[in-house]
Structure 1
Amino acid sequence: MSKIAAQLYTLRDYTKTPEDIKVTMHKVSQLGYKAVQLSALGPIDPVKLKEIADEEGLYICATHDSFERLRDKTQDVIEEHKLWNCKYVGVGSMPPEYRKEGKDGFKRFAKEASEVARRLAEAGFVFVYHNHSFEFQKFDGKTGLEILYEESDPQVFFSEIDTYWVQHGGGDPADWIRRLKGRAPVVHFKDMVMGKDGQMMAEVGEGNLNWPAIIEACDYAGVEWLIVEQDICQRDPFESLGISLKNLKAMGCV
């Protein structure tokens, strides 16, 4: 059974200072979450961050950092993750300079990110790549995401499939999770609904994604963490995280 966490990027407007982070972590814990993914936090000492998380009974299950920092300050990243006892080191997106190169950029990133991922793996950590929808652009009949996973090292380059962005790009989230069996330890759960101006992000279970199929795919693929994220909320983001958790519990995810 997978475990559920909250992606703090959802609450980035409430994590700008150490005091903000403390208050926000408390609220997340009160919602019923037992784990968080770190992303878009304001400046805070890593030791202080661990103390806050521990005080609130929150396990740091994954992170997001820039690829530049993972590449150029790998040892700093390793030391932080050792402190936090956090296994999964995530990058939020492929940097723009690679995207400008088209197919060759996807291949180059797959190679260079695999090199970084090997350094992390040697220290006991797992590199995960978080997709958006630009990776579904096709090059000679293959999507950028296919190129990334074909050209990267499957022993060290893992996935963080984002259900909303796969659907946004015209893909099938459940299919992609299944395809990456053994390389999909964490998945971002985010729903999609149609508003008057087009596609919008929604709380898990409040939109149109096929959650029974997605959850079944996660079980099949051996996903460890289901991480709830909502970049843009139509209501208070804490309320949105609460609704997603409630719905996931109703779906049998606990």
Structure 2
Amino acid sequence: MRKMGIGLQLYTLRDEMAQDAASVLQKVAEMGYEGVEFAGYYDFSPEQLKALLTDLSLKAIGSHVNMERLQNHLEEEIAMNVAIGSRYVVCPGINQAQRQALPETVAFFNECSSQFASKGIAFGFHNHYVEFTENYGAQPWFDAFFGSTSPDAMKSELDVCWVHHAGCDPITYIDKYAGRVPLIHLKDIRKFADGTYQTLELGRGEMNLPAIIAAAEAAGTEWLIVEQDDCDLPALESVKISMEWLRRNVRFAEVN
């Protein structure tokens, strides 16, 4: 069974990246992360960003590209992601109106997918919890959406913490969409009786991460990507703690 790469969604370090992106990427590489997923490009040109990643031996897993960028700047996003070697572009979420206009949203995403695929890039969707708590027709929106798109046109970047937070079983969803979940977002969480929650470093919350990772490997996942939306500790310390947990719990491999 093939092993998975370990990556970081740079949204976790958004404040630090805004101050000195090159220095932060160097620290990420030194921690042992094999790849990064972008959430913006911090004024780098495609050539500059590619050179920096090459110097640091970091792979460009892909980029989060929001609806506004997909609608109005698609060619720029394609050019950047081709230049840096991304294999994936992911929409990080959509609003309620877009979710409930499902046929129109699916048609738009299919067109985006076709444009990315022509350059060798797969297109995907990243969930939060609302896609599981909000229905479209008689089923959760997530299932309605992926049931309306083909496995080739739309991949799932499954954020297993948000699946859990919605009251669903991440392993059930990994198994259900096996072969269609090349990217998994990992964070830990602690939920409180009053309905609030705290996102945490890996291994410090209530997620059954070893079982989730085993299911992801069996489902053909290529990358496990750390993303901690909010950190109580300094964010660089948080991603280091999560990396150390992964070193103890996941087999490493080069992912082409």
After superposition, the Cα gap between the structure-2 partners of 1:27 and 1:227, relative to the gap in structure 1 and judged at 3 Å, is same
Q: Does 1:128 align with 2:130?
A: no
- Which residue in the other structure is 1:49 paired with? 49
Aligned to 1:169: 166
- Is the Cα contact below 8 Å between 1:60 and 1:84 reproduced in 2? yes
> 1:186 touches 1:227 (CA, 8 Å); kept in 2?
yes
Q: Tell me if 1:141 matches 2:138.
A: yes
Q: Which residue among 226, 231, 239 is the counterpart of 1:228?
A: 226
Per-residue CA deviation, residues 21-67 of structure 1 (Å, 9 max, x unaligned), is: 11111111121112111114433222212222222221111111112
After superposing on structure 2, the runs of 4+ consecutive aligned residues of structure 1 that deviate more than 6 Å are: none
Q: CA deviation at 1:74?
A: 2.8
Q: In structure 2, what residue type is equivalent to 1:5? A: G
**Counterpart check, 1:8 vs 2:10:** yes
Q: Which 5+ residue runs of structure 1 have no aligned equivalent? A: none
CA RMSD of aligned residues (A): 1.7
Q: Is 1:111 aligned to residue 103 of structure 2?
A: no
Residue 96 of structure 1 deviates from its aligned partner by 4.7
| 1:51-130 equivalences in 2 (<5 Å) | 51-99=51-99, 102=100, 105-130=101-126
Counterpart CA distance in 2 for 1:67 and 1:179 is 26
Percent of residue pairs bearing the same amino acid type: 31
- 1:164-203 equivalences in 2 (<5 Å): 164-194=161-191, 198-203=196-201
Distance 1:149 1:165 in 2: 17
Could you tell me how far apart the structure 1 residues matched to 2:145 and 2:48 are?
36
Aligned to 1:6, the other structure's residue is in SS state: strand
Question: Is the partner of 1:98 in helix, strand or coil?
Answer: helix
TM-score (norm 2): 0.90
**2:10/2:37 contact within 8 Å kept:** yes
Query: Which aligned pairs between 1:21-40 and structure 2 lie closer than 5 A?
Result: 21-40=21-40
Do residues 152 (structure 1) and 149 (structure 2) align? yes
Aligned residues: 248
CA distance in 2, matches of 1:108, 1:151: 11
Residue 16 of structure 1: SS of its match in structure 2? Answer: helix
SS for the counterpart of 2:125 is strand
Give, in whole Å, the separation in 2 of the partners of 1:252 and 1:48: 32
**Could you tell me whether the CA contact under 8 Å between 1:7 and 1:229 is conserved in 2?**
yes
Q: What is the CA–CA distance in structure 2 between the aligned matches of 1:208 and 1:97, rounded to whole Å?
A: 32
In the TM superposition, residue 159 of structure 1 has moved relative to its aligned partner by: 0.6
* Contact 2:90–2:125 (CA under 8 A) maintained in structure 1: yes
TM-score by length of 1: 0.91
CA contact (8 A) 1:110 1:149 kept: no
216, 219, 225: which one aligns with 1:218: 216
How many angstroms apart in 1 are the aligned matches of 2:51 and 2:82? 14
Provide the C-alpha distance between the structure 2 equivalents of 1:98 and 1:78, rounded to a whole number of angstroms.
22
Q: Distance in 1 between matches of 2:102 and 2:189?
A: 26
Post-superposition Cα deviations, 1:216-241, rounded to whole Å, max 9, x if no partner, equal 21112100010001010110111111
Corresponding residue SS for 2:167? coil
Structure 2 equivalent of residue 237 of structure 1? 235
Residue by residue, what CA displacement relative to the aligned partner does 1:132-160 show, whole Å, maximum 9, x if unpaired?
11111123430010111011232211110
SS in structure 1 at match of 2:191? strand
Alignment partner, residue 247 of structure 2: 249
